[in-house]
Every structure is written in structure tokens, then in C-alpha cells.
Amino acid sequence: DVKVTQSSRYLVKRTGEKVFLECVQDMDHENMFWYRQDPGLGLRLIYFSYDVKMKEKGDIPEGYSVSREKKERFSLILESASTNQTSMYLCASRLQGMETQYFGPGTRLLVL
Amino acid sequence: GENVEQHPSTLSVQEGDSAVIKCTYSDSASNYFPWYKQELGKRPQLIIDIRSNVGEKKDQRIAVTLNKTAKHFSLHITETQPEDSAVYFCAASNLRGNKLVFGAGTILRVKS
């Protein structure tokens, strides 16, 4: 059974802080994704990674960066958190060549 | 790029009735269309998907239909039950399958 975990379920940060969101998957998946989920907007892709040390911008990368130093771990970084980054952040992983993405439980981030 | 529109945004049905959620997409190159269900406080989970070489797919009480000419696809849930209450997301991806573009989501409430 695929397991995708995220480091925190809830996080409260102040504007200007650097924020790290961690995602770990245990199924040796090559592809990993970061989305944010907002009411009425669905899930929007921030960044994705095909494999270790590889990354590509998604649809809304501004204000975010990512790191993929190990295959199982994909980190999302908010360099200087702003209130408009208050959201639910979802990580997903997928085996290369397959279509199904498996999601983590999400991190609800509040930026004050 | 791809744009996916989903309707309705909310849907209330009586237990036992059918529910239909519709999505349209813009990129004729899209060839994979999954549906995800997200129960309250939980992660999105794939419930059914369809590829562009198939017009309809069924799995017990749920079915998905695809009209490539019109660029729309629909989720059908028959004999709805209270446990079907959730947010449903449609999505579409292109030939490379690298990026899923999601609809805004439909909140389905099944009243018992």
C-alpha cells in the first residue's frame, strides 16, 4: 500500500518566516508533486520533480522553491511566507510511467 | 495550457438518487481523465479514471463517460449513499502525463 506522509498536519507561521514543508513516500516513486488546495480553485500545481535533483515549475511557482535531494523526500520551501500563502498544501507521488498519483494527508498552513 | 471547468460546485441529492458531475477541458491533446474523492479532513483518493481511447468505464455504482469531440467527461454515481458525501475533483493530463490539471471541485451531499 502506497504511503505518502507529510511532516505536519497544521502549521502556523508569521509573515516573512521561511517555511519548510516535507513530504516522504515509501514506494520508490520517481515523480513527486506539490499542490495547494483552495476553496473554489481546486488543486493547483506548484512544483514537481521527475527524479532526484530534478524539478520543474508548475502553474503557480511564485514565492516557492523545492528540494529533492533523496528519492523518497520532496520539500516545499516558502522563502518568505506571506498571508496569501495560507492554504492547504498537498504532496503526491507517482511511479514513473504510471498515471495514478497518490496523495499525502495535507498540511494546513496559516500565515499570520 | 489546459483548463478544466467543473460543474456544479455543490450538489445535494437524496439517498438512493443518482448524482452527475460534469467537467470540460480545453486541450484536445489531453488523454487521461481521473476522478478523485476527498472526504472531509482526508487526502484525495482516485476512484475511477478513463483514457481517451475509451468512451465509458464503470466500477460498481460509479461510472465515467468521455466525449472527446465535445471535450467533456462526466462522473455518474448511482444509488447514492451517505458515505458518498465528499468533494469530488476531475482532472485532465496531456500526452506526457506529467501534469494533472484539476477542476475546482464539487461538494456532494447525500441526504438520508
Contact B46 A105 (CB under 8 A): no
Residues in chain B: 112
Neighbouring C-alpha atoms within 13 Å toward the C-beta of B9: 5
Is residue A57 exposed (0-12), middle (13-18) or buried (19+ Cβ within 10 Å)?
A: middle
- Amino acid identity of A100? T
Radius of gyration of chain A (CA): 13
pLDDT of residue B54: 84
H-only helix segments in chain B: none
Contact B99 A45 (CB under 8 A): yes
Q: Is the pLDDT of residue B97 over 80?
A: no
**Tally of CB atoms within 10 A around B111:** 11
Partner B contacted by A95 (CB < 8 A): no
- Could you tell me if B87 and B36 are in contact, meaning their C-beta atoms sit under 8 angstroms apart? no
Tell me how far apart the alpha carbons of residues A66 and A56 are, in angstroms, rounded to a whole number: 9
Contact A59 B1 (CB under 8 A): yes
Q: Is the pLDDT of residue A14 over 80?
A: yes
Given B36, B43, B105, which is nearest A104 (Cβ)? B43
Partner B contacted by A100 (CB < 8 A): yes
**Tally of CB atoms within 10 A around B98:** 15
Tell me how far apart the alpha carbons of residues B112 and A48 are, in angstroms, rounded to a whole number: 41
Residues of chain A contacting B104 with CB distance shorter than 8 Å? 40-42
Residues of chain A contacting B100 with CB distance shorter than 8 Å? 43, 45, 101
Contact B102 A42 (CB under 8 A): yes
Partner B contacted by A1 (CB < 8 A): no
Mean pLDDT, residues B63-83 taken together: 97
Mean pLDDT, residues B50-62 taken together: 92
**Structure confidence at residue A8 as a pLDDT band (50, 70, 90):** very high
pLDDT of residue B4: 96
Q: Report the run of H or E that residue A74 belongs to, with start and end.
A: strand A73-78
Least Cα distance to A109 among A20, A1, A3, A5 occurs for: A20
Query: What's the CA angle centered on A57, arms A69 and A84, to 5 degrees?
Result: 100
Given A41, A48, A103, which is nearest B44 (Cβ)? A103
pLDDT of residue A1: 67
pLDDT of residue B101: 93
**Structure confidence at residue A30 as a pLDDT band (50, 70, 90):** very high
Q: Is the pLDDT of residue B11 over 90?
A: yes
Q: What is the DSSP letter of B83?
A: G
Q: Is the pLDDT of residue B64 over 80?
A: yes
Given A43, A50, A56, which is nearest B102 (Cβ)? A43
The strand pairing partners of A92, in sequence order, are A33, A103
Q: What is the DSSP letter of A9?
A: S
Burial A81-100 (b: 16+ CB within 10 A, else e): beeebbbebbbbbbeeeebe
Q: What is the pLDDT of residues A32-85, one digit of tens each?
A: 999 999 999 999 999 999 999 999 999 999 999 999 999 999 999 999 999 999
Contact A41 B34 (CB under 8 A): no
